[in-house]
Amino acid sequence: MFAPAQKFADIVTYNIFKIPQGSKLASAVNFFIFDTIKIFILLFLIVFVITYIRSFFSPEKTREILSHKKQNIFLAHILAALLGIVTPFCSCSAVPLFIGFVEAGIPLGVTFSYLIAAPMVNEVALGLLYANFDLKIALIYVLSGEIIAIASGIVIGKLHLEKYVEDYVFKIKVGDVQIFENKKTLKQRLKETLEFTIELIKKVWIFVVVGIGIGAFLHGYIPTGALAKIAGKNNPFAVVFATVLGIPLYSNAAGIIPLVSEFRRLGVSMGTSLSFMMSVTALSLPEMILLRRVLKPKLLGIFVAIVGCGIIITGYLFNLILG
């Protein structure tokens, strides 16, 4: 499928730029051109398909599903984490979603299960992991993210931390949630899906290019096995290092995949690589800043600590499983 892209990368690198074959610069440039084409093709296809599926969901419908009083609380956590995979979410929507969930009477722990799963188990990252690695790695990513979201939500719920939510949140009344059957035609859905896909790619392309650029530099100038000394499986603190490193960073999940791919090539274990990716997507600094508007510092700190510990434990577990 990507043979023409590789041929194009070779022509540009060796014939147009006339960079000597075998040089570090040639390796980096060739990787950058090829991976940029590959990632954007995959990104368009994956986002288009996922966006069409998500057109049947909405934040309001998610609230309505999770606010049923009669459902088992454990099943509610599982449902919230699963809905986090397929429903729209970005850092900027964290605060209104949180307020809406609390106003709808959804338990705090269940709300956090959703808020953790939605950015962490990113459907675009899932598709790109499957395309760049294999189904096993993609499923490990989904399973570990869902377990972290469910377990973290349950712990937060058991601690009864409602007093650490900003007081004004409980006073807001956004009105009753009304769910209407979406009667859009296939043509309308496809048109809106294409528009949304193009708009999303316009917003995230810089993160993707930066991620590929860093990956290209690593590919061309860092020898295989170099990072293994710092973040390889022989370093007992590798997962902790990767998780802490990812917390202050901010990137779209699609921009992280090229880095994960290069980390693997350079000898970084899969669990450590996934810990870094999850840390960047689930504990991004912009989301923490926005959540501070609705969470008091103690609850925000507890949230970061619980999710961070979950990511670290998952990283070590999958390093053990995958060897």
| Residue 300, amino acid | L
| Gyration radius of the chain's alpha carbons | 21
Q: Environment class of residue 239 by beta-carbon count within 10 Å: exposed (0-12), middle (13-18) or buried (19+)? A: buried
- pLDDT in the model for residue 90: 60
Q: List C-alpha distances in Å: 99 to 161, 257, 291.
A: 15, 32, 10
For residue 179, pLDDT over 50 is answered with: no
Please report, rounded to a whole number, the percentage of residues in the chain having pLDDT higher than 90: 27
Residue 306: name the closest of 143, 115, 83 by CA. Answer: 115
pLDDT at 293: 85
pLDDT for residue 174 is more than 90: no
Selected residue with higher pLDDT from 167 and 89: 167
The residue among 255 and 49 whose pLDDT is bigger is 49
Can you tell me the distance from the alpha carbon of 262 to that of 306, in angstroms, rounded to the nearest whole number?
28
Query: What integer pLDDT is reported at residue 136 of this predicted model?
Result: 86
Helix, strand, coil percentages, rounded to 5, for the chain: 75, 0, 25
**Other CB atoms within 10 A of residue 17 CB:** 13
Within 13 Å of residue 24, how many CA atoms lie on the same side as its CB?
7
The string of pLDDT tens digits covering residues 21-71 is 999 999 999 999 999 999 899 889 888 887 787 777 666 666 667 766 556
Give Cα 71 to chain centroid, integer Å: 28
pLDDT per residue over 185-226, tens digit each? 888 989 998 998 898 788 778 878 888 898 899 888 887 666
Q: How confident is the model at residue 105 (pLDDT cuts 50, 70, 90)?
A: confident
**Mean per-residue pLDDT, 248-270:** 79
Q: Which residue has the tokens 């090539």?
A: 265
Strand partners, 295: 165
- Cα 109 from Cα 115, distance rounded (Å): 10
Q: What is the 3-state secondary structure (H, E, C) of 71-96?
A: CCHHHHHHHHHHHHHHCCCCHHHHHH
Which pLDDT value is given to residue 203? 78
With vertex at residue 43, the alpha carbon angle to CA 39 and CA 45, rounded to the nearest 5 degrees, is 120
pLDDT of residue 180: 43
pLDDT of 67? 67
Read off the pLDDT of each residue in 175-188 and give the average, rounded to a whole number.
60
Identify the pLDDT of residue 226: 67
State which H helix or E strand residue 163 sits in.
Answer: none
Residue 284 has a pLDDT of 76
- C-alpha–C-alpha distance, residues 125 and 296, integer Å: 31
pLDDT digits (tens, 9 = 90+) for 285-317: 777 887 888 899 999 999 999 999 999 998 998
Give the pLDDT band of residue 177 (cuts 50, 70, 90): very low
Query: Percentage of the chain surpassing pLDDT 70?
Result: 85
Label residues 20-42 b or e (16+ Cβ within 10 Å = b).
Answer: eeeeeebbbbbbbbbbbbbbbeb
**Per this entry, what is the length of the chain?**
323
Alpha helices in 104-185 (DSSP H): 108-120, 123-132, 135-158, 167-171
Band (178; pLDDT cuts 50, 70, 90): very low
Mean pLDDT over all residues of the chain?
A: 83
Number of H helices, E strands in the chain: 16, 0
Q: Does the pLDDT at position 175 exceed 60? A: no
Residue with the larger pLDDT of the pair 319 and 61: 319
Q: What is the largest CA-CA distance in the chain?
A: 68
Written as six digits, the tokens of 73 are: 């609380």
